[in-house]
Chain A
Amino acid sequence: MTQARSAVTTRPDTRQQDLLRLLGPAAVHQADPAAAWTPAERQLLRLTTRQLVSYRAAPDPTDWRALGPVGDLAVDVPSTYNAGLGASHRSYVAHLRPDVWWDTPQPRRITAHDVVRGFKRLANPVIRHPALAYFRGTLRGMDRYCAEYADAVAGQPVTAALLAAFADAHELPGVFAVDDETVVLELVRPALDFPDLLALSCASPAPAEYDAYLPGSPELHANLVASGPYRIASWQPGAAIRLEPNPTWRPESDPVRRRLFAAVEFRVSTGGPRQLADRLAADEADLPWGVPVGPVPGHRADPFLVFNLRDPANPAVGSATVRRVVADTIDRSALARIAGAADPWSDIREAHTVVPPGNDGHRPPDPLADPLPPDGGARERLAAAGHPDGLILTAVHPDTAEDLALARTWAADLGAAGVEVRLVALDEVNHRALLAGTADAPALRWDVSTASRTAPWGYGNARAFLQPLVDAGSPGGYHDPEIDRIVEQALDAADPREAVARWQEVQRRLLAAGAVVPLLFRRATDAAPRGPRVRDVAPLPSLGGLADLGEVRLEGGR
């Protein structure tokens, strides 16, 4: 690995302990902020990047201090009290700290122009980042910028130079640098969750060096530039990652992160939960990787099913009746038992709504108010929909033992109802590309896929689960003009209660159309195994309960 970085030799602080070791099933494939998205990836990025605002670790993850972002690269969260937020709530002014640096050969200050570049990279048409759904309807000009970006590169080989040329020639109207220390972010309409969006790792600033590489590419990963307390020393996707201190990071300019270790090591373990617990107990590692370590307010949706309505293998999934048959046929209790064995550290529930409990907009099923399933068995309903002989669907799922076991179970349920399911296991990279519909996705016609989602922010997050499912870049391409109209109402609502009501309406329509099939909810608990050295660990709600690795206390440490 030949990273462009500062040449300063790291001299570990004498207070630091030697090494924090993580071991577990997390498959981290991205450390590029413009491409990374899973909680485990964002957990890693928390150590290597800075955002305008971020969350602090708090002893109690339900405490408001853990749920509300604070200034990170920005001096403070822009607000009306610090002249950072106009009364219209559509213009944010972020003032950057003067002493935050890129880990470049000649250390260089992070400027407002780097923040602008970060947002332009997020809009790139190569990755189609899942969080774009939030920004497109919120950040002024983002929607059009994304569309024009995609048009500009369509039909030609996408190169870093091509992307950089577009970004250089086109301004993103809603994000501009007033000077090196000041960036303005303008919204289409007020968004009370905008500081939470700014805290997403995909909203990180980007150094100019990144323009030389395709987003998310191996070449970029060989040239990552850190701004957080650590930098990536070695990177073996799917196997191991090692972090070492970033010598340009200054603790006095980072109110969010701490650096307590001379190195952090991530190793992938593919064994089952018992094996992982045994290895941690044997002090092979300190913390599980990709396993939440403590309870956070909200459950996550994991897994649920989405249908491919863009270019399905079987056009039958275009029928709401067919989709509802799938939704009504699957026995969630069986799934919960399987998941409970594979993931004994989560509180697992059957899911019948899109938004999980503990998140804004969750609405428990109401037997008195919710529409009853249509009369008739699954076969009769399929026959009425024009499929008297049943049908065949191609289903994709991540290539893990648990995902396979779950898929086989619900596929068996569907098979009994006359829907034959052909399962296709994809590794995480290909599965993600398939759902995003990017150019590098495998050439595979599919009908239904498992997916999962963790709310990337924990308070006022009514749109966190729903908007990505109905956005233009949604995994299956489901589109309902009436939902578009309701989404606009939700985004326009000045009263958060009104917004929640509208999002619940979106959820009702999605479920009624069978566009999404909730299967299970999971909530982190504090039952996850820890190595014997671990004295204390702080789960972050924004990471679904994964640990803040800057706050892990080991035996003998401070």
Chain B
Amino acid sequence: MHTTPGHAIGYEGIAVSHTVESPGPAAVSASVSPSPLRTASWARIRELFALDPTTVHLNTGTVGAMPYEVLDTVDRVTRQWTGGLLDVYRPAMFTEYRDYIARTFGVDEDEIVICHNATEGVARVIHGLDLREGDEVVTTTHECYSVLSNFNLLRNRHGIVVRTVTPPSGHHVRAEEIVELVEAAITPRTKVLSFAAITLFTGTMFPVRQLCELAHRHGLTTVIDGALIPGMLDVNLRDYGADFITCSGSKFQCGPLGTGLIYIRNKVVPESNPLPLPTFWPLISTWYPMMGSPPPRTATEVESYNMGDYLQSAGSANLARGAALARAFELWDDIGRDRIEAYVMDLAEYARGRLIEGFGVEALYSPGADPRLRSPLIAFNPFRRPEDAWNIKKFITFVKRLETEHRIWTRWTEFDVPGSPHQHYAARITTHLFNTREEIDHSVRTMVRLAEEMS
């Protein structure tokens, strides 16, 4: 079922776009009037979210705030399916939702899977790779724990070799440094290149396309932790040229907790990625053949079978969360993903400037001078003494006091810094569409005062 103007995406009467604020359809076409949200003020858009007005939420990098409509969808669809005798398996394929989300990202339904979170997604990808003893994976020390732990599991299970590089950090880092660092780690035995599109520790926007082109030159499979992409960036996933991108539905996309996406390249579009499709084993699959193998993977732009279905068919699913995630996608499209990205990035630059004013440019771990590496996640050391950078207690206390005394939600992160023997810690803020410059001003002022007090 494809969505049509005026009708929400959904199953068997479970329409999910039933609100006055956002009556628009899932699929927006030129013939349809744009949603009022497309031109709504940011103050009006902020009202869509279930935010505590006494708090400043600067931690979307960990978890976003759900819009009321998304909350309502979770509740309504849960009730609708509770106690019924309906067939739960067909809707659990989420075909329409996947189709909608896929088109949002410029890819196809057979290449999108709705899963439970980015961690599950990346685990299913990593363990589906066709890796053998001695095969090498190049990744970074700044990856999410769930990426590194799953590659370690493969190391223990199959004897693969995991090579990690520590990316540079700081305001003046340039994209070329990262690409050169990664390239230097590639050997003739490297089979996979894996990295985060935006790192959670320092908020570095990795040069994804450049790294994928590097992978193409070396014939590597690319696995990208894109947990922070949905809801932040207005992107065409295929244009990245990656083989796999795993995403969170509950961070910038502000869907319910327990939602995620897997993008799996299922056709060969030479201008984005000319390499053949990698062998892939879709773990946790009801509809993978019970005898024999699927047909050979396609070498053209026409898929040979629906790999997305293989992955999506994993028994019953939480239909409410799938519906709510789709609703969050609709909302974002109503507001305009391009508009959201521009706002979020602009607010981040404002925050970066304020942080530099407050703490000095050397305090920043996040790149800023190279616009290609900027993201709305900004990590910094608020303390004056250099050695405080590896004092975990100070960061825990700093973040805790911001939360309990000032109602400002941030987080602390930990990571390696090239050339330093210490584990470094940072305070990290994240800007999103519901944040304002006033919140940034207030938060930075508060953080400067608190850091001064704690220094």
Contacts and interface: CB of A to CB of B under 8 A. Distances in A.
Interface stretch (A99-107, A178-186, A282-290): A178-186
B217 interface: no
Given A80-B145, A494-B162, A495-B155, A86 B423 contact: yes
B56 to A, nearest CB: 24
A360 to B, nearest CB: 15
A178 B394 CA distance: 9
Contact of B393 (A86, A88, A174, A182): A182
B442 interface: no
A95 to B, nearest CB: 9
Interface centre among A88, A90, A186 (most CB of B within 10 A): A88
B399 to A, nearest CB: 11
Contacts of A174: 421
Interface in A137-176: 140, 173-174
Given A86-B416, A179-B393, A495-B159, A91 B148 contact: no
Given A182-B392, A182-B393, A184-B390, A497 B422 contact: no
Nearest to B392: A93
B155 A88 contact: no
A359 B156 CA distance: 19
B145 A87 contact: yes
A416 interface: no
Interface string B320-358: 000000000000000000000000000000000000000
A186 B421 CA distance: 8
A558 B162 CA distance: 52
B414 A86 contact: yes
Contacts of B416: 86-88, 90
A76 to B, nearest CB: 14
Contacts of B390: 91, 184
Contact of B392 (A87, A88, A178, A497): A178
A90 B162 contact: no
Contact of A91 (B156, B161, B396, B423): B423
B416 to A, nearest CB: 5
Contact of A178 (B152, B166, B393): B393
Given A86-B416, A88-B423, A178-B391, A495 B396 contact: no
Interface string B133-177: 000000001010100100010011001011000100000000000
Interface in B399-452: 414-416, 421-423
Interface string A80-94: 100100111011010
A186 B416 CA distance: 12
Contacts of A182: 392-393
Nearest to A140: B421
A173 B393 contact: no
Contacts of B394: 178
A93 B424 CA distance: 12
A83 B413 CA distance: 10
B421 A497 contact: no
B362 to A, nearest CB: 22
Given A494-B162, A495-B155, A90 B423 contact: yes
B423 A497 contact: no
A83 B423 contact: no
Nearest to A83: B392
Nearest to A181: B393
A184 B392 CA distance: 9
Contact of B415 (A80, A87, A140, A494): A87
Contacts of B145: 80, 87
A186 B161 CA distance: 24
Contacts of B391: 178
Given A186-B422, A186-B423, 19 more contacts: A83-B396, A86-B414, A86-B416, A86-B423, A87-B143, A87-B148, A87-B415, A87-B416, A88-B141, A88-B166, A88-B416, A90-B421, A91-B390, A173-B421, A178-B391, A178-B393, A184-B390, A186-B421, A495-B159
Interface of A: 80, 83, 86-88, 90-91, 93, 140, 173-174, 178-179, 182, 184, 186, 494-495, 497
20 contacts: A83-B392, A83-B396, A86-B414, A87-B141, A87-B143, A88-B141, A88-B416, A90-B423, A93-B392, A173-B421, A178-B394, A182-B392, A182-B393, A184-B390, A186-B423, A494-B152, A494-B155, A494-B162, A495-B155, A497-B159
Instruction: Return the 3 tightest CB-CB contacts between A and B, nearest first.
Output: A91-B423, A86-B423, A88-B416
